[in-house]
Structure 1
Amino acid sequence: MAPMPWSLWPALCLWGAVALLLCPAAWSDCSAFPSIEHGSSEDVSSFLSFTTVLQYQCDEGYALVGEARLSCRSAVWSSPAPWCRAQCRRPEIEHGSLSADKEQYMELEEVTVQCDCGYHMAGSPRIICSENRTWSPELPKCEWEVAVGCDQIVAGRKLLQCLPSPEDVRTALEVYKLSLEIKRLEQA
């Protein structure tokens, strides 16, 4: 290989300076992109920029906490990398209500369950959204309380649950009312 002529050195030096201007990552070490669990980042730097810019987003079911957009200049990031926190869906508690009624709850958020009047709690009334996007401990249940001496009401409630339509319920109640009147007349 023949030695390079001295006349090419200024052109190569100029090319090197242009390359450094066009590729700032070559002289500022911003190549170590901070990664995040349950999420990803995308390099959204402009072509002629001296700054590396990353845009972060979380996977479905997770919410971003911190700055969504980070920039790096001269090997220094603008802020720490964000993180993704799990989100839990609103728990469905039949015959109960929640202390905070929302569509999504953040990881470590605590909710208190309260049963409707006439129902008692089976399980813990306090539940927490865990990092695996489930509620811990297991969701409680609100079970119907049967007061002492209310066997007739329990039997009637079970009968009403078996009837397919409101018209059938109305008819059953009318028949029951008539049977009570007949009993009362027979006792007189």
Structure 2
Amino acid sequence: SLRVPVTRQPILCLLDFSDRTHSLLPFSFAIQDCDMFPSIAHGSYEDVSPIFSFTTVVQYKCDEGYVLVGEEKITCRNSHWSSLVPQCKAMCLKPEIKDGTVSLDKKQYVESETVTVQCDSGYSVVGSPSIICSENRTWYPEVPKCEWEVLSGCEQVLAGRKLMQCLPSPEDVKMALEVYKLSLEIERLELQT
């Protein structure tokens, strides 16, 4: 039987099938102890180690709707990874704000990014003005709305505004205003008698 000498160096066994013999050759290299590839949430990895190389290289990519933060590839050397494992951070779309704007105007925002909703003049925020992009790609708390402020003494203006929004044509608006004006005149005359 073939006896293998005990050595501290790893041994590479080369098979020669032509004469069905085995040859044992010493081959020096650093043993890599990185069998466990670090996984990431909302993403995946692939072993892209070069052929005939004794280093382990892992490449990461994120699921759709998430962005990679950190190194795309990490390498194992001397039983240690070259850098921290990257993260896949959620991407949130710009919130739709009617009659208002957001403090930071972009098409997309990264997880943990906070924006403040500012309403146009005459409108006030209904809900939390400060919202944050969450891990599930939605805004938290819910995106607020900008609603028209009804100042004291302006109730009739608001009522007229709502009436005009319901009428289909400018002629109808004109007629409604004439009727309203007539009703105010009648009310004034009744108060004088």
What is the one-letter code of the residue matched to 1:91? P
Per the alignment, residue 186 of structure 1 pairs with none
Report the Cα distance in structure 2 between the residues aligned to 1:77 and 1:153, rounded to whole angstroms. 68
What TM-score, normalized to structure 2?
A: 0.72
Unaligned runs of 5+ in 1: 184-188
- Write the deviation string for residues 149-184 of structure 1: whole angstroms up to 9, x where unpaired: 3344223322232245xxx2x32344457668989x
Aligned residues: 172
> Per the alignment, in what secondary structure is the counterpart of residue 49 of structure 1?
coil
Cα distance in 2, alignment partners of residues 126 and 50 from structure 1: 51
Q: Deviations over 1:127-151 (max 9, x none)?
A: 1222333322332221111233334
Which ranges in structure 2 are unaligned for 5 or more consecutive residues?
Answer: 4-18, 184-193
CA deviation map 1:97-123 (0-9, x unaligned): 100011221222111111111111222
CA distance in 1, matches of 2:35, 2:106: 40
Percent identity for Structure 1 against Structure 2: 54
Which residue is 2:78 aligned to? Answer: 74
Give, as a single letter, the amino acid of the residue that structure 2 aligns with 1:146.
Answer: V
1:171 alignment partner in structure 2: 171
Change (3 A) 1:50 1:162: same
Query: Match for residue 115 of structure 1?
Result: 119
- Bigger helix share: 1
Q: Distance in 1 between matches of 2:164 and 2:49?
A: 66
Structure 1 runs, 4 residues or longer, greater than 4 Å off? 176-183
**What is the CA distance between 1:44 and its match in structure 2?**
1.4
Find the aligned partners of 2:108 and 2:178 in 1 and give their Cα distance. Answer: 50
Select the structure that is richer in strand: 2
C-alpha distance after superposition, 1:55-106 (max 9, x if no partner): 1112222221110111123322211111122222222222111000112212
Taking a change above 3 Å as real, the CA distance of residues 117 and 124 of structure 1, as seen in their structure-2 partners, is same
State the match for 1:159 in structure 2: 163
Q: Which moved more, 1:42-51 or 1:152-161?
A: 152-161
Contact conserved, 2:167 with 2:173, CA < 8 A, in 1?
no
Output the TM-score relative to the length of structure 1.
0.73
Relative to structure 1, is the Cα distance of residues 182 and 85 closer, same or farther in structure 2, using a 3 angstrom cutoff?
Answer: closer
Other-structure match for 2:101: 97
Q: CA RMSD in A?
A: 3.4
Among 46, 60, 72, the residue aligned to 2:64? 60
